Structure formats: structure tokens, C-alpha cells
């Protein structure tokens, strides 16, 4: 333990003298949590919608009023011809067109059915899907009002059903609450994987690793002394990020603190193991940065941080079993938002524990220390 304590003291001194690491440890978390939580937002607002109302009836005006009353749409009227509106759509001056044909009111009252045309700019398929969902929701709500009116006219005494929806775990559908746990996983990974690999490779570049390798220090003493500081800093980042989330974003903490930090401990072992392994197969900081960014970018995009991982193809979901991000993002959202216990995330914890055992075995096999 005395040998390890000397190495730990040396590592902490070296970390706090490194002008490259300090901003990553203390500045980057604040920037990412404040900026990315707002920027990485899948909510769609300020939809520029052009309305072509060729019916000009009370019924069509009531439908348009539904869109005007929505906070998501900026409604502008166009001429009776749809050609100019389509030109605006081509010129990217409009996001979508609502085309109400002639005889809309007559068909609705006489034939109980009427047509609407919605043209959406689908260059961005995610935005187009959201616009389509919002529009369908408003039209269905309007359709329900029409059905209630017709029913009440025919059978005034008939009772109606009122359906009220409630959302569990995130009742206000606040996207920041959904995104913040994912950003925390990225922060912890940067410390555990990226800085660990960078620190060890830097020793290679300046030549001090050779001096350490020929000392009587045992391999496990050296690796514990190298990895424990970043485990401590990673846990600090997790506490720091959660504190910002609770104070500024009112992030709910429904689950157990012990379950969250227990799972975080296992995940950090995986991140440290990957960082150690990357440092053993690279010779300089450029190489390790390239590999670390490659793995991090791949892991992040497949983790489900932005879109559900269940929507990926079957082959991608199979590959995702080797993605540590996927397990921690799933578990941290379950613990924070749903109040899940450690038993609920036990399958993810066992998968990460196996992952840590395998990656550390590979890293220790690749790391050579001569006495």
C-alpha cells in the first residue's frame, strides 16, 4: 500500500500540473451540461406552415385556428393557388403546407368525410416525422370535436367519454431530463477512457514509462496507481454532473443513490480498462486520440442517447451488446427517472462486469513491464 500511495501522489501531482487535462476535467463538464442539454433537443418548435385555404368556410377556419393556437406552428396564409406555396417549400421558406380543398365543409357535413393535403419538407427525416405526428395529432383532435358535435345534435342526452392521458416518469415530456443522464455518461467516459489512455501514452512519449518499467515496482502496483486517480475523478464528475442537473435542470432522482454509484463504479472499470487497452496498442497521443474518438463516436451513436436503441436493425442491436455506453445510459435513466432498484438493472451490471473482466485481461496481456 505504501508503494501505491507514492504512485497515487505522483499521479495527482502530474494531473494537476497538466494544462491540457485541467480544462477537460473542470471546464468541459460545465460546457457540455449547459450547452449540449439545450442543443441536443429533439423537440421541434417554430414550424413555418403555409395554409392554402380554398374553401374559406367556418369549418376550415376552425381547423386553421387549431394550428394557430399551437405553440409549435408559425402559420402564414398563401394565395388560393398552391403553386406559390410549393415554390416557397422548394426555396426552404416554408417547412410544410396545409392544403384545404374546395367544398371541404360541404363534404364533411354531407358525406361525413373530407380530404386534406399536407406537404412536408422531408430533407430531415426526423423533423418531418415530428411535423407529421404533430399535424396528425391536431387533425385528430379537430376530428374528435366534429364527431362530438354531430353526436350531440342527433342525441343530445347521450353521455360522452373523456379520455385523459398521463405520462409516467417524465410527465411534462421535458427533453432536457431525458438528455441529461446521457450527457453524464459521456462526461464520465471521457475521464475514464480518454484521459486514462492519454496519460499512459504521454508517459511513453516523454520516455518516463521506460524508467518506471525498470524499477522494482510491480505491474499491479503501477496500474492501480495509474488508474485509481481517474476512477476518483470520474466519480467526482458523476457527482458534479448530478448536482448541476438537480440544481439547474430539476432532474428527478427517483432511485437509489447506492444503486447509481454502484453501477457507475462498474462502468468506470470498463472505461478504465478500455483506456488502458488503447494505451497498450498505441505509441503516441495522436494515435490514441484517433482511436478513442473513433470508439467514443461509434458507442455514442449506437447507445440510444438520442434515439431509442430498440429502433435500430436487428444486426445493430446484436453489435450493441459490446457497447458499454448502451448499458450505462439505459441503467442511469432507469434509476434516475423510473426509480429502478439495483435488482432491476442487474442484467446490465453483470454484462458490464463481464466486459470489465475481459477488457482488463486483454490490457494486462498486452502491457509489458520489464524489471
Do residue 145 and residue 201 come from a single domain? no
pLDDT over 80 at 39, yes or no: no
Residue 346 belongs to a domain = yes
Which grid cell is 121?
419538407
Using CA atoms, how far apart are residues 33 and 53, in angstroms rounded to an integer? 44
Arithmetic mean of pLDDT, 248-256: 88
pTM of the model: 0.77
Q: What is the pLDDT confidence band of residue 213, given thresholds at 50, 70 and 90?
A: low
The whole domain housing 238 covers: 2-41+172-366
Q: What's the rounded mean pLDDT across residues 137-146? A: 84
Asked if the model's pLDDT at residue 156 lies above 60, the reply is no
Over residues 178-194, mean pLDDT: 88
CA distance 178 to 167: 13
* pLDDT for position 371: 44
CATH of the domain at 111: 3.40.1710.10
308 vs 64: which has the higher pLDDT: 64
Task: Please check the confidence at residue 148 and state whether its pLDDT lies above 50.
Answer: yes
Q: Are residues 64 and 10 in the same domain?
A: no
| Region 284-303 average pLDDT | 87
Q: What value does the mean pLDDT take over residues 6-13?
A: 80
Same domain membership, residue 240 and residue 109: no
**355 shares a domain with 301:** yes
Co-location of 142 and 192 in the same domain: no
Question: Do residues 32 and 186 lie in contact, with contact meaning Cβ atoms separated by under 8 Å?
Answer: yes
Q: How confident is the model at residue 40 (pLDDT cuts 50, 70, 90)?
A: low
**How high is the pLDDT of residue 358?**
94
β-pairing, 47-53 vs 73-77, is: parallel
Does the residue 300 lie in any domain?
Answer: yes
Number of domain units in the chain? 2
Strand order in the sheet with 73-77: 73-77, 47-53, 96-100, 117-120
Per-residue pLDDT averaged across 188-198, rounded?
Answer: 87
Q: Does 245 lie in the same domain as 147?
A: no
- For residues 2 and 201, give the distance between their C-alpha atoms in angstroms, rounded to a whole number: 25
Residue 163 lies in a domain: no
Q: Which helix (H) or strand (E) holds 215?
A: none
Classify residue 270: in a domain, yes or no.
yes
294 or 155, greater pLDDT? 294
- Final residue before a domain boundary, out of 154, 189, 206: 154
Amino acid at each position: 500500500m505504501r508503494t501505491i500511495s507514492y504512485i497515487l501522489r505522483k499521479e495527482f501531482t502530474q494531473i494537476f500540473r497538466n494544462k491540457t487535462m485541467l480544462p477537460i476535467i473542470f471546464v468541459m463538464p460545465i460546457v457540455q451540461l449547459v450547452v449540449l442539454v439545450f442543443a441536443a433537443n429533439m423537440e421541434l418548435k417554430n414550424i413555418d406552415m403555409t395554409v392554402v385555404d380554398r374553401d374559406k368556410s367556418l369549418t376550415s377556419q376552425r381547423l386553421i385556428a387549431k394550428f394557430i393556437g399551437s405553440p409549435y406552428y408559425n402559420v402564414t396564409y398563401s394565395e388560393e393557388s398552391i403553386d406559390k406555396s410549393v415554390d416557397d417549400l422548394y426555396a426552404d421558406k416554408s417547412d410544410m403546407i396545409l392544403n384545404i380543398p374546395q367544398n371541404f365543409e360541404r363534404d364533411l357535413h354531407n358525406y361525413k368525410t373530407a380530404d386534406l393535403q399536407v406537404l412536408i419538407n422531408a430533407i430531415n427525416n426526423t423533423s418531418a416525422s415530428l411535423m407529421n405526428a404533430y399535424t396528425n395529432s391536431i387533425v385528430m383532435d379537430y376530428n374528435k370535436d366534429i364527431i362530438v358535435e354531430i353526436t350531440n345534435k342527433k342525441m343530445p342526452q347521450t353521455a360522452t367519454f373523456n379520455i385523459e392521458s398521463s405520462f409516467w416518469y417524465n410527465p411534462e415530456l421535458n427533453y432536457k431530463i431525458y438528455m441529461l443522464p446521457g450527457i453524464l455518461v459521456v462526461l464520465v467516459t471521457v475521464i475514464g477512457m480518454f484521459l486514462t489512455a492519454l496519460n499512459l501514452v504521454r508517459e511513453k512519449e516523454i520516455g518516463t514509462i521506460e524508467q518506471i518499467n525498470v524499477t522494482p515496482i510491480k505491474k499491479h502496483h503501477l496500474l492501480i496507481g495509474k488508474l485509481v486517480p481517474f476512477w476518483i475523478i470520474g466519480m467526482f464528475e458523476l457527482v458534479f454532473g448530478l448536482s448541476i442537473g438537480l440544481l439547474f435542470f430539476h432532474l428527478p432522482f427517483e432511485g437509489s443513490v447506492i444503486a447509481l454509484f454502484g453501477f457507475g463504479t462498474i462502468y468506470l472499470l470498463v472505461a478504465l480498462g478500455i483506456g488502458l487497452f488503447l494505451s497498450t496498442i498505441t505509441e503516441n497521443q495522436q494515435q490514441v486520440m484517433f482511436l478513442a474518438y473513433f470508439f467514443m463516436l461509434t458507442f455514442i451513436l449506437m447507445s440510444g442517447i438520442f434515439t431509442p436503441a430498440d429502433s435500430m436493425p436487428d444486426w445493430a442491436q446484436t453489435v450493441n451488446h459490446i457497447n458499454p455506453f448502451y448499458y450505462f445510459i439505459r441503467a442511469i435513466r432507469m434509476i434516475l427517472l423510473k426509480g429502478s432498484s439495483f435488482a432491476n438493472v442487474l442484467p446490465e451490471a453483470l454484462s458490464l462486469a463481464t466486459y470489465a473482466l475481459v477488457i482488463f485481461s486483454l490490457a494486462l496481456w498486452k502491457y509489458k513491464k520489464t524489471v
